[in-house]
Structures are given as C-alpha cells and as structure tokens.
Structure 1
Amino acid sequence: MSDVTAAASTSVREELVGPGRRPVTVGIVLLISLIAFENMGVSTAMPALVADLGSVDLYAWPFVSFVAASVLGTVLGGRWCDTHGARWPLLVAPAVFGAGLLVAGTAETFAQLLLGRVLQGAGAGVQGVAVYVLIAAVYSAAARPAVFGLISSAWVLPSLVGPPVAGLVTDTVSWHWVFLGLVPLVVLAMALVAPAVRTLQPLARGGDGDGDGGTRRPQVLLPATAAALAVAALSWAGQEADGGGAASWVVGLVAAASLGVLVPALRRLLPPGTLSARRGVAAVVLCRGLIAGAFFATTAYLPLLLTDVHGWSLTAAGTPLIAGSLGWSASSAWQGRHPDLARPVLLRVGFAGVAAGAAALLLVTPTWGAAWVAVPAWTVAGLGMGLGFSAISQLLLEASPPALVGANSAAAQLGDGLAQAVFVGVGGALVATAATVALGLSGLVVVVVALAALGVWVSPRTAAPAPR
C-alpha cells in the first residue's frame, strides 16, 4: 500500500470512527439496523399476530399500511430535509417510528395494530431520506463509500438472526415483544445522533424562498398522497387476485384505476427523464429501481423455487438468501475501501453480477435442474448487489445539487419500493398463470435477467453530464 493510499485510508477511518464522529456513525448504522430488524421480525411474527387480532383475509393489510405510509413519508421527508435541513427529521422520524412500535406492541385490536404500522412506515420513510441528507452534510466524498458499506452491513445481522429471534420471541413470550423489544434501541440511536444534528442546516438556501437554491420543484403533497393510496390499492388488488373474495372484474377495475393515479403522480415525484434514462440523476434513480426490482423479486421467490420444485426444507431454502446477504456485505465493504474507483463502472459490474447470478438460476428452475446451483448463483448476485447499490448511493449524492439531495434521495427510495412491488407482483402473476410453478419461475428469471441487462446498458449514463 502506498503512503498516499495509507494516508487516505487513515483519513477516512478518522471521519467514520474518530472521537468526534463515532457516535453519529454508530447512530446511523443503528437507525438502519432498526428498520431491518423490524422488517425481518414482523414478517416472521405476522402469522401469529394476525391469528391473534384478526383473520387470514386481513393478512396483507399490516404490510400494505406500512408501505403506503412509507411512500408518503419518503416524499414529504425529502422536501422537509431540503427546505429545513435534516436536523428535525432525524429527531422526529425515529420518535414517530418508536411510537409506532409502542402502539403496535400494545395492540389489542387490529385497528390499533394498523395505526402502529402507519406510524412505523411514516417514520421509516422520513428517516431513510434524512440519513442520506445527513451523510451528504457530514461526510466528505472520499468517506461516503465507506459509510454506504456500513449501511449495507447493517442489513446483514438482521437478515441472519432477525427471523429466528422473532420466531423464538413469538413462540416463548409474545409477538408483542417483537415490536416492544426494539424501543430501547430507538432511544439509544436518537441519543447518539442528536448531538451531531443540533447545528445541521439545509444544504443550500434559496432563491425562491423555499430553500431550494433557486431550483424549481413542484408541490408534492397531492401526488405523494395519491401515490401512497394507489400503492395501497394495488397491494389490495394483488392480494385479491391471489385468492381473495372480491370479484375479478372489481379487482381489475381497482388495479387499472390505481395505475391511472400512480403513473401521473410518479411523473411529478421522479426526476424528469427517469424513464428515458436521461444522463445524470434521472439515470441513477432508474438504476436504483432496476437493480432493486431484479434482486428482491428473485429473493422473494427463491425459497418457493427450492421448496416447491426441489423439495428442500424451509431452513435449507434460506441458505441462498444468507449467501447473497454475505456477498452483498463483502463487496459493499470492499468498494468502501476504494473510493477512487469510478462508480459508473462499479455499477455496471454490479448489474452484470446480478444478471449472471439470476441467469444461473435457469439451471435450477426446471424440475430436472441442479438445486445446489442456487447457492453460488445467489452469492454472485449478492456480490453484484453490494457493488451496484453502494455505487448508486454515491452517484446519487454526486449528481444532486445541494438543495435537492432530499428530493432526489426520496425519488430513488420511491422508485426502489415501487419496482420491488411491481416485479414481485409480476412473479406472482407468472406463478399463478403458468402451467407449473417451475415454468412460472423460469419466466420470472428471464424478466429479471432482462432488467439487469438493461441496467448494464444504462449504467454509463449515471455519470454526471460533461460541463458545457
């Protein structure tokens, strides 16, 4: 290692864990870990929870209410951070999330549970954007890849231990403690982050009186509300299409109306040129949706592939997911130690890794396929995801004017969530309509490979436009 590289590495390490910076770095990681533990734990505890408070036909609504509230919180949180800085969002959002944990954890009725989930979703949405704005305000460009590596690592432990711990707590104590057990960690995270955000101001102040540095931005309350309601309605339609009690024409009408509301709302909420991959931040936001849709849609159906087609146990079927999480963490940590590498190139390599890992699953999807291939295949996909996702986070901050860091971060997270919902739904439709589960999942893998290949093509457009 050269003296220059060693000095740069030492400088980055000081920025992350030096005496004045360690609390905020630990606080950021803890905030992300809380969202991850909640996500993994609630999914595991949901069958017991619904059996206690409701009935199986209400199973999707705790998830739907969380997603819809997080959509609204993400968009409004981006505007809040841009106009007033990340200080109050970083204090209020964890408090709202913690209140949601308390409300859900003490729920005696299904309505109270849904209220808790709405508060959790709104807090998580605002918090996710505020963390990005905090990173842009506090850490140098050289240190940000390492921060994003830590954020990726914050998902690994919850992915590995969250489901079994939540299952153990639910079986031996009560599902209530899956929520309540996280409350002390929320308090700790707020105590760590609060000193670092006391003096935070908007990244730019502005020419139009709205704190946006003269950059014109549309009003977002109405389209954000419309998008949240449309996502909730689409989720309901997907649930009913999978065996609910509503008539098929009603489901179709609701789905069509939801799309009719969602598409124009997204045109107001996403950067102009997103769908056409305009060079710069629009292409970055598009890549976030492509890589999230490809990776997480496949992750959702891998256990089904291994259990239904190849007869693996549920425990064994989780092995590729663990391998993918470890690969993601390893490559994300590696890129954090190489801030000098071009992020569009890393993103392209990341998409290629996801495409290669997904394509290898075509050797698994047939009934005669080799099921063991899923483990190395999804390890490769995880390695690609760690490179690609971290590169997108860095490129997003590089491509965003200071006054629009919050809005663009919100757009990226919104595209991420919607892409996951859409392509998980596509997978469900293919499985439901195909002659066999194996055939339907083969179709999903082809779709995923096409998404990742499109990402390989779009990746070079994420570089900032050359100055005129």
Structure 2
Amino acid sequence: MSTANDTTESVWRGRYLGVTVGAVALVFLAAMQSLAVTTVMPIVSAELDGAALYAVAFSGTLATSVIGMVAAGAWADRSSPVPALTAAVTLFVIGLVIAGAATSMEMLVVGRLIQGLGTGGQTVALYVVVARMYPAALHGRVFAAFSAAWVVPSLIGPFLAGAVTEYLHWRWVFLGVAGLTILFFIVVMSRLRGRDLHTDEPAKGRIAARLGFAVAVAAGALTLSLAGEFGAWSWVVVGASAVVIGLAARPLLPPRTLRAGRGLPSVVLMRGLIAGALFGAEIYVPYLLIDEYGFSPTWAGLGLTTAAVAWAAAAEIQGRYGDRIGNARITLFGVAQLFAALLFAGATALLHLHPAVLIIGWALAGAGMGLMYPRLTVLTLAYSTPQNQGFNSSALSISDSIGAATAIAVMGVVFTALTGTHAGFPVVFAIAGVLTLLALIPGLRMGHAHEQHR
C-alpha cells in the first residue's frame, strides 16, 4: 500500500515505472484489438460464411465483459487483484487464440465471448491495482495514461489492422495481440512480485448471486443488441431487455444509483449516461460522412480522429489540474462540450452544412469526455475502501457497458425506423443530446471524497 510520502513521485519513474508501462500496454492492446476487429470483421465474416452471426461477434464481447467485471471485482475485494488480473489476462489470450484459429464463425464467436470475460475482468483488476499501489494524488495521472492508451489505437488501429490483413492474414490481428499481451503481462507481474496488494479487511459474503445477476445483465445486453432483428417486435424486445437489465443491474451498482444519490451513486450513474451519449452517437459520425457526403471509410475516420486527439489532451489536463478545477466545473465544462459537439453534428445532418463543421465540432466531444471520463474513475476510487474497491470499480465499468449498449440499441431501432427519411441522423444526435443534459443531474451531485488528500 502507498503512503502520502509517495505523492512527490511520478508514475513514469522509480518503482511505478514497470507497472505503469505494463498496465498501459495491456489497456492499449485491448483497445487496439477492439478497434481492429471493426476493420477486419467484414473479411472474417465473408471467409467464414458468418453473416448471420456478424452482430453477435461484436455484442457478445460487450455482454460477457459484465460477468468478467463482477467476478474480478469480487475476487479483488476478497484478496489481492493480482490473481484476478492473471485469470482475466489468461481468458483474454485464450479467447484471442480461439478467434485467431477459428475455422467457422461459430468458433470465432466462442472466442469472442471468452475474450469479453477477460476484457471486463482485466479492466477492473487494473483499477484495483492502481488503487492499492499508487497514492491517490497519482490516480489522475494513471487514468489519463489509460485514456491515452485508448486514443492511439483509434488513430492507427484501423490502418494497422488493414495492413496486417492485407500483407499477412486477418488471423494475426488476433494472434499478434495475444502474443504481445503475454509479453506485457510478464512485465507487470515482474514488478508486482513481492508486493502485498491484499486488503487488511477482505470483503465477505457469497458472490454466487452477484454472478447470477451479471449473467442476467449480459443476456439482456446481448438480446438488446439484437433488437433490430425482430422487425415489428423490436420495441417490445428493447423494453423487455431494458427491464431485465435494470432489475438485474441494481444489486451490481451502489445503492441509490438509479435515483442519483449523492456521492458515489451519482458518479456511477453519470458514467453510464455520458457513455451512452458519446458511444451511441459516435458510430453515426462516420456513417453520416459516408452516406451523405460520399467520404471513403478512411477519410470518414477523420471525424473520430479529431475527437481522439482532443480526448487525450483533455485527459492530460484533468490528470494534472483536476483537483484544482473541481468536480462541478469539470461536469459543467465536459457536458457543455459534449452537448455542443452533438449540436454541431445534428445541425450538419439537418441543414447539410459543410462536413468540416461536423469534423471540427466533434473534437469537442472528445475534449468533454477526456475531462469527465478519467475524473469519474478517480472519484470512484476516492469514495472506495479497500473492502469495496473491486465492487465499485466493476460497478463503474458495468454502468459504462450498460449505458453504451442500451443507447446503441435504442438509437439503432430509431434510425432503422426512420430509414428513407432525412430525420434519422438528426434524431439520433438529439437522443444523445438529451442523455448528455440528463448527466448534469448526477454530475452536480457527485460531491468530493477528498480525492486530492487520500
């Protein structure tokens, strides 16, 4: 465990260097694989004759990640995060190997489901490692680095995946990441060896019920992502899935989360709302540029690249000056920037403005998220004790996944229903705008957990 005397240290020097490099690399590789799959999946689907399972190959990973989050969080709260991290990385690598060796689409989907278990567990376990090894004053820096590790893949991931597929084979998009993951996991473990990251007062109680609720959430999220396939029954499926997710998620989140209770519940709720707003709308930015302006897929990625760069810059500002800016101001600045980006996007779609308005304006979305996203993680750990760091970290990630999955599904059903009209894109961005404004409610109720002094 770290002490207050550690606050003068840097995450990139001394005893933290190896863990920081390895952990950031693991986050980077998970992000790279996630974005690379988007590029290569059409080729994989064609080779394996798997069009019918195309959507499941994406949604399955998100769904099973919830189970991994809950399992890793409970495990870390009862002992050390190191065994949970080891199990998660092992599952991630096994899933990648199965997907890379797949001879059918069914086999690839199995690999992706196992990969999701590892991805969710790895995220939560790394959060707890940060909580127990780094002093609170350095948490913002670490999570800013994690945010940057998600940004770089958005810049080079699609191009690199295309090059690997063209000059080697799509299988190496999976197998190559598996090999590198093993390498950097060894780096992390070599630095964690001998460090006692156990909690002095481990959490107690049975976890079977929580895992059962996690499975229910995963099943609901998977069904929700396929709602568009049910035609006239789509909204019935959306409603039923949302009810299942809401009921099953309550025991996995802090009490009063769905009522925006002050403190940690509002932190977790805000994460879900802004994740739904950003990730739900983001997939329609390149779609708009391709469909309405005739951009190629490569050039359409510019809309996301500007946001990625702004996200990294804002995350670094938050990491350095977050305590000085304050949580209320971060909420107001972040929500204002995200909402402005959605206004630019909606106006571009509605009025057919020059595409530069959308591309430049969408950078504001990245800037807003770069301020808010890592700050919410810092606050979650600040509100936590060694007995519930795993639970709270998993709750934050679960809220993230549920918010994104629900928003994407609802926006997809609405967009499909408006096909053939000019209202689809503006309405999708309007839904995201409403979610953004709703985020102000929990955002201004987060309070402070004395995160700068812990």
Query: Considering the TM-score relative to the shorter chain, is it more than 0.5?
Result: yes
Q: Secondary structure at the match of 2:321?
A: coil
Is it true that 1:259 corresponds to 2:254 in the alignment?
no
- Superposition deviation, residue 435 in structure 1: 6.0
Determine what percentage of the aligned residue pairs are the same residue. Answer: 36
Give the aligned partner of residue 143 of structure 1. Answer: 138
Give the aligned partner of residue 236 of structure 1. Answer: 226
Give the aligned partner of residue 415 of structure 2. Answer: 431
For the residues of structure 2 that align with 1:439 and 1:253, how far apart are their CA atoms?
Answer: 22
- 216, 230, 239: which is aligned to 1:226? 216
For the residues of structure 1 that align with 2:400 and 2:33, how far apart are their CA atoms?
Answer: 19
Is it true that 1:114 corresponds to 2:98 in the alignment?
no
Is it true that 1:205 corresponds to 2:201 in the alignment?
yes
For the residues of structure 2 that align with 1:458 and 1:177, how far apart are their CA atoms?
Answer: 43
Q: Secondary structure at the match of 1:16?
A: coil
Give the aligned partner of residue 71 of structure 1. Answer: 66
Does structure 2 conserve the Cα–Cα contact (< 8 Å) formed by 1:310 and 1:367? Answer: no
Structure 1's consecutive aligned runs of 4 or more residues displaced over 4 angstroms after TM superposition are 10-13, 251-257
Deviates more, 1:361-370 or 1:128-137: 361-370
* 1:295-310 equivalence runs, <5 A: 295-310=278-293
Does structure 1 conserve the Cα–Cα contact (< 8 Å) formed by 2:227 and 2:413? Answer: no
Does structure 2 conserve the Cα–Cα contact (< 8 Å) formed by 1:70 and 1:123? Answer: yes
Q: For each residue in 1:357-395, what CA deviation from the matched residue of structure 2 results, as whole angstroms up to 9, or x when unmatched? A: 111223201253232111221111111110011111111
Relative distance call for 1:47 and 1:13 in structure 2 (3 A) is farther
- Superposition deviation, residue 204 in structure 1: 4.5
* 1:266-281 equivalence runs, <5 A: 266-281=249-264
Does structure 1 conserve the Cα–Cα contact (< 8 Å) formed by 2:269 and 2:399? Answer: yes
Is it true that 1:442 corresponds to 2:389 in the alignment?
no
Corresponding letter in the other structure for 1:331: A
Does structure 2 conserve the Cα–Cα contact (< 8 Å) formed by 1:350 and 1:388? Answer: yes
Give the aligned partner of residue 393 of structure 1. Answer: 377
Does structure 2 conserve the Cα–Cα contact (< 8 Å) formed by 1:226 and 1:262? Answer: yes
Does structure 1 conserve the Cα–Cα contact (< 8 Å) formed by 2:267 and 2:380? Answer: yes
Structure 2 unmatched runs, 5+: none
Give the aligned partner of residue 19 of structure 2. Answer: 24
For the residues of structure 1 that align with 2:246 and 2:440, how far apart are their CA atoms?
Answer: 25
Does structure 2 conserve the Cα–Cα contact (< 8 Å) formed by 1:352 and 1:456? Answer: no
For the residues of structure 1 that align with 2:105 and 2:8, how far apart are their CA atoms?
Answer: 47
Give the aligned partner of residue 56 of structure 1. Answer: 51
- Superposition deviation, residue 426 in structure 1: 2.2
Is it true that 1:362 corresponds to 2:358 in the alignment?
no
Does structure 2 conserve the Cα–Cα contact (< 8 Å) formed by 1:87 and 1:200? Answer: no
- Superposition deviation, residue 436 in structure 1: 4.4
Equivalent residues, number: 445
- 87, 92, 97: which is aligned to 2:92? 97
Does structure 1 conserve the Cα–Cα contact (< 8 Å) formed by 2:99 and 2:111? Answer: yes
Does structure 2 conserve the Cα–Cα contact (< 8 Å) formed by 1:86 and 1:197? Answer: no
Q: For each residue in 1:388-414, what CA deviation from the matched residue of structure 2 results, as whole angstroms up to 9, or x when unmatched? A: 111111111111232111111111111
For the residues of structure 2 that align with 1:256 and 1:344, how far apart are their CA atoms?
Answer: 33
- Superposition deviation, residue 319 in structure 1: 0.9
Corresponding letter in the other structure for 2:279: F
Give the aligned partner of residue 318 of structure 2. Answer: 335
For the residues of structure 1 that align with 2:76 and 2:298, how far apart are their CA atoms?
Answer: 42
Q: For each residue in 1:272-297, what CA deviation from the matched residue of structure 2 results, as whole angstroms up to 9, or x when unmatched? A: 11121100110000110111111111
Does structure 2 conserve the Cα–Cα contact (< 8 Å) formed by 1:307 and 1:313? Answer: yes
Is it true that 1:153 corresponds to 2:159 in the alignment?
no
Is it true that 1:282 corresponds to 2:265 in the alignment?
yes
Does structure 2 conserve the Cα–Cα contact (< 8 Å) formed by 1:347 and 1:391? Answer: no
Corresponding letter in the other structure for 1:410: S
